[in-house]
Chain A
Amino acid sequence: MIKISRDKLNGALAKIARSCDLFLPVKKAGEVNYGKFDENAEVSLDTLKTVKSAKDFFFPQSETMMKFKLSGKNIEIEDIRKQPEPFVIFGVRGCDYRSFSILDNVFLQEPVDTFYKARRDAATIVTLACNKPETSCFCKAFGIDAAEPQGDATGWLDEKYLYLNANTEKGEKLLETVGEFSQPDDGKAVEELKKTTREITAKLPYSNIDLSRFKPENLNELFNLPVWNELSEACLGCGTCTFVCPTCQCFDIREFKTDTGVNRFRCWDSCMYSDFTQMAAANSRTTQMQRYRQRFMHKLVYYPSQYGGTYSCVGCGRCVNKCPQHLNILKVIKKIGGRKDD
C-alpha cells in the first residue's frame, strides 16, 4: 500500500493525465459529475455521489454506431469503430463499481456488444472507499462493502492522505506512475477508515432492507399486486431515475439524415417514457403504472431470473435523492419486500 499526501495529489493526478485521459469527479456549474482532468478542473473526490453514475464511460448516453453513404442505388456502410485509447477512471465508489458487472452481464454475453467491450478493455478503474455513506445509501443490502471496493486499484481518503492499493497488474502500473509522489504505508490508517465506514453503514436505516420476496418464482404474484397503482400514482413519467441510475441499460437505436447520408446512433432510453419500446403499433405499456412496474420488476425480478439471482440495483440511492416526487426503489422494496399481507 502507498499513500500520497493531499497537497501532492494534484501533481500525481496531472502525471497520470500526461500519459492518458483521466476522468474523475469534477465540479462544473455547481454540480459534481465525472469529467476529464485538466489543470483547471475543480476536482471533488470528497463528493459522495456524482449526479450521473460512472456507467457513461462504457455505455455513453448517446453514440454514433455507423454511417451510411448513399450514391445512386448503392449504400456504403462506414464502420466508425476504432480501438479507444487507454484511459483511467478515478474515484469510482463501491456501488458504481458493482454496476459494471451488472452491465457486463448484458453487454458482454453473446452477441458481444463490441462498442461496450472496447471501452471496457481500455479502462483502468480506481475505486474509492466511502467515508460517510448517507441515509439514502443501501449498498450493503446488495452485499457491497463501501469500505473496500475492488477495481484495478482501491483508494481511501482521510484528511491528510490518499491511500492506494493495487489489485491487478493494471493497478500496479498505475501506482508506479505516481511513485514519485507517494510513500509506502503500513495500512493501519486504512484499517481505521474501514472500521468507521462499516460502523456507519451498519447503522443506516436501509442497510438491511428485506428483499426476500423478490424472487423469480414470485414473478406472477408480484406483477399482479394491486399496490403498484398506489406506488406509481405520483410518477411524472420523466426519466430522472433511469438516467441517474448506474444499472439502467435500455437504449434506442435510431437514424438521422445528413447531407451526405444517414447516421445510425443509439441513446439511452427510459421505460418511463411513453415512446419506449415502440412495437408495430405503439408502446405495449399504455399506462404509467405499467411503465413504473416494469422498471422495478426488471431490477428486482426479471434481471435476477436471467442472471443467477443478482439484483440489478446497487443501492447507490441516486433515485432516492433525485426523483422529483420522492418515489423510489426503497419505497417499492419496503412496501412489497418481505411483506405478504397485501
Chain B
Amino acid sequence: MSELENKLIEKAKILLENGEVKRVVGWKKGEFYHDPSPATFETADGLKEFVYNDFCGANLSKYLIDINKKEGKTAVFLKPCDTYSFNQLVKEHRIDRENFYVIGTECHGKLDNRKLLAAGVDGVTDEKYVGDEVKFSTIYGDKTLKKGEAILERCLTCKGKKFMVSDDTVVIDETEDEVSDRFSKVAELEKMTADERFKFWQSQLSKCIRCNACRNVCPACSCVKCVFDNPQSGIAAKANDDAFEEQLFHVIRAFHVSGRCTDCGECSRVCPQSIPLHLLNRKFIKDIDSLYGEFKAGEVAEGKTPLTQFDTDDVDPNAAADAIK
C-alpha cells in the first residue's frame, strides 16, 4: 500500500468517524491490480477495500449527480482534472456545492490498460512511477515501459496539478509533469483538406458500436433522459447505422457539450473502439478560445460562459465561420 493511499484512507476514516460526512466516494479494489471501480464507502470498516493507484482513471464527478439526491454530506476524492467537472456540475445546478466535501487528490497521470496490453504488459500486480518510466510487476515477471507509452492520452496533455475546487487536499509529490500541447492534434486535423478530414473521421467513427459509453460517462451529458433513448422523442436511435454514427451522433453530442466540456477525456478513455472523441471537443474548445478569449469550462463554478452570454462586441457569426475554417 502506498503512502498516498494510506493518507487518503486515514482522511476518509476521520470524516466518517466524526460524522462530518455520511459517505465517501472513491475507488474499490478489483480482482486484479489494474481494475479498481468507483465505489461509495459508508463505514470506516468498509475502507478495507479502498484503493488508490495509477489505474484509478475514472472521473468520479458524474456519480455525484445521483449522490446529490441522498441525505447528508458526501466526501469525494477528485483528481485535478476531475475538479473542473465538479465545478461545471455546480454551475449547471446539477449538484449542490454544500452537499460535498471535496478532497483534492494527487495525480501524476493514470495508466491506460489497453496500451499496456498492446505492449505485452498483462496481469499487473504492482506498479511504480520512477522518473519517466513505469516499473510493473506482473504475474509473468517484471516489465518497464516509458511513461508516455503507458498513460492515458488525456494525461499526456494534462491541464495541470491545480485543484479548481477543494475543501482539503492530499498531495505528497508536488512536482509538475512534462506535458505536450493539447491542441496540436487538432491543429493537425485543421491543416488537412476537408476531404482528408472527412475520411479521417469516417474511418474512426465507422468503428462506433453505439454502446453509448462515451455519453454515459460524460459529466456534461447530464440530461435525465437522452433524446436518443426516449421512444417518445421520435428520434430514438437504437440501431447502429454507419451514416448516422459517422455524421450525426458524435457531432451532435460534441455540439451539445460545447462550452461546457472540461476536456476530462473520459469519452476517449472508455470508448471500446478507441475512437479519439476528445478531438471533437477540443476543436470546439480551441475555437471558443480563439473567438472569445481563453476559456476553461469548470475553472470556476459561477458566472456566464462564452456561449451563454451575448455581447454586442461578439464576433460576427460569418466572420467567425471564416476564422475557424
- State the A residues within 8 Å of B (CB): 28-31, 33, 51-52, 61-62, 134-135, 205, 230, 233-234, 236-240, 242-244, 252, 254, 265, 267-270, 273-275, 278, 320-322, 324-328, 330-331, 334
Contact = CB atoms under 8 A, between A and B. Distances in A.
Contacts of A61: 209-210, 239-240
Given A240-B213, A334-B31, 4 more contacts: A61-B239, A238-B216, A239-B213, A321-B113
Interface in B197-255: 203-204, 206-207, 209-213, 215-217, 225, 229-231, 236, 238-241
A51 B231 contact: no
B37 interface: yes
Q: Is the interface of B mostly helix, strand, loop or mixed?
A: loop
B123 interface: yes
B37 A234 contact: yes
Nearest to A244: B272
Contacts of B30: 326, 331
A324 B31 contact: no
B181 to A, nearest CB: 22
Contacts of B266: 324
Contacts of A321: 113-114, 117
Given A234-B38, A254-B238, A267-B238, A29 B272 contact: no
B207 A205 contact: no
Contacts of B275: 29
Nearest to A256: B239
B240 A240 contact: no
A238 B37 contact: no
Contacts of B236: 275
Contacts of A324: 58, 213, 217, 266, 269-270
Given A236-B217, A331-B30, A325 B212 contact: no
B159 to A, nearest CB: 21
A50 to B, nearest CB: 11
Contacts of B137: none
B43 interface: no
A31 B238 contact: no
A29 B207 CA distance: 8
A323 B204 CA distance: 20
B240 A268 contact: yes
Given A31-B273, A324-B269, A325-B58, A62 B239 contact: yes
Contacts of B212: 238-239, 273
Nearest to A242: B211
A236 B213 contact: yes
A28 B275 CA distance: 11
Interface in B5-39: 30-32, 35-39
Nearest to B60: A234
A240 B211 contact: yes
